[in-house]
Every structure is written in C-alpha cells, then in structure tokens.
Amino acid sequence: MNIFRFLGDMTHLISILILLLKIYATKSCSGISMKTQELYALVFLARYLDLFTNFVSVYNLIMKLVFIASSLAIVWCMRRHPLVRRSYDKDLDTCRHYFLIGGSFVLALLWHEKFTIEEIFWAFSIYLEAVAIFPQLVMLQRSGNVDNLTGQYVLFLGAYRGLYILNWIYRYVTEKHFGRWIAVISGVVQTALYADFFYYYFLSWKNNGKLQLPA
C-alpha cells in the first residue's frame, strides 16, 4: 500500500458513487454504456476469484466486495429496474464488446505471469479493464453532449488509472523484485484511451461551457 494506490482506490470509489448517484437520484441511466458496466462486472469477478481464499487485509477484502457488489448492482439496475432500464440508450451503445472479451482472454492465455487459473484470470481482468471504457467513450462520441454526472464519472475513472500508474512507478522504484509489467502496460493503454476525453473536458472547464465530444 502507498499513497498513490490509496488515492487511486478512493478516486475509483468516487466514480462509482457518482454513477450510483446518477442512477438512483434521477432514475435514469441515459448516457451510460451498459456494455462498459458489464465489462467492469466481469473484470472484478475474474480478478477476485481469490476473494475467500487469499486474505491480505480487511481493507483489501472490503474493496473487493465493494467493487463486485457495486458493479453487479449497476448492471442489475440498467437491465431490471423498471424505471432505469427505460432510459438506456441501446441504439447508441453499439460497440461489440464480446470482441474485447475474447481478445483479452486470448491475450491472457498468451501472456501471463504463471500458468494457473487464478493468474490467467487475473491477467484477463487486467487486459479487459484496459479496454472496458471503450464502449462508454464510443457511446459518448455518438451522443455528442455529455451531462455533468456522466462526465464526472468518466473523469474520475480516468484519474483512478492515472494514479495507479504513479503507484506502479513508485513500486518499481521502491521494490527490489517488481514484476507486474502486465498491469503497468495495460494501465498506460487504458489511460491513453482517456486522452481525447480529458482534452475536451479541460476545454469545457476552461470555457465554462457544456462538455461536448466530436461525433
């Protein structure tokens, strides 16, 4: 644990809370990609197969439970809640996310740290998380206009990944046997996907205007 990882975790939690606030306060998931949320649910389920077999700390256990429960709750609301599901923009959420799932799994079989079930699924979750935001970004570009809560949700998700890159750099400098290069490279790729969004978010903040992405 270090300050960058802790801030990354807190930023991630804030992004989830913003999304839950949007859904429960407005009873709407307009502008939110269900495919991205399904990918995140799959990410956490695959990553935390060791939930009850590898105890690290109370903090670690709580974070695992929160991420799994919140991601499944969001997917449930978007699929089953009688009011929320009506606002889902299916026609805009057109990214074929099963290609992302298949590609991530094949990559995990080819590049992993140990040939065990837990390590392969860990690698799969890292690769999948790197591209999980892609359907959401595509959806935002298709819609053009981005509401404040959705914009803040994506912003904090991107900040979380940026802080985790600092976490990996810190660990590389301070640890003698650093070996999580899969996470580092995937984190860089994921953060790069946010670059365009960050640019237009900065412009909207600078000009005190509404966030709009080019179609």
Say what the pTM is: 0.90
Is the pLDDT assigned to residue 144 strictly greater than 80? no
CA-based nearest residue to 69, from 129, 13, 150: 13
CA distance 37 to 78: 9
CA-based nearest residue to 38, from 85, 97, 90: 97
The pLDDT, as a whole number, for residue 36 is 96
- Cα-atom radius of gyration of the chain, to the nearest Å? 17
Q: Return the amino acid letter for 34.
A: M
The pLDDT, as a whole number, for residue 162 is 87
Is the pLDDT assigned to residue 178 strictly greater than 90? no
Is the pLDDT assigned to residue 7 strictly greater than 90? yes
Give the model's confidence band at 198: pLDDT under 50 very low, under 70 low, under 90 confident, else very high.
confident
- The answer to whether 35 touches 134, Cβ cutoff 8 Å, is no
Window from 32-46, 61-75, 131-145 with minimum mean pLDDT: 131-145
Q: Is 179 helix (H, G, I), strand (E, B) or coil?
A: coil
Q: What is the pLDDT of residues 74-96, one digit of tens each?
A: 999 999 999 999 999 999 999 99
- pLDDT greater at residue 111 or residue 215: 111
Q: Mean pLDDT across the stretch 152-168?
A: 90
The pLDDT, as a whole number, for residue 64 is 93
| Residues forming a β-bridge with 145 | 212
DSSP at 114: S
Q: What sign does the dihedral 66-10-207-131 (CA atoms) show?
A: negative
Q: Which structure tokens are listed for 71? A: 């991601």
Q: How many CB atoms lie within 10 A of CB 14?
A: 17
Contacts 24+ apart (CB under 8 A), 169-177: 170/2, 170/4, 171/2, 174/2
Give the model's confidence band at 27: pLDDT under 50 very low, under 70 low, under 90 confident, else very high.
very high
Is the pLDDT assigned to residue 146 strictly greater than 90? no
Mean pLDDT of the chain: 90
Give the model's confidence band at 215: pLDDT under 50 very low, under 70 low, under 90 confident, else very high.
low
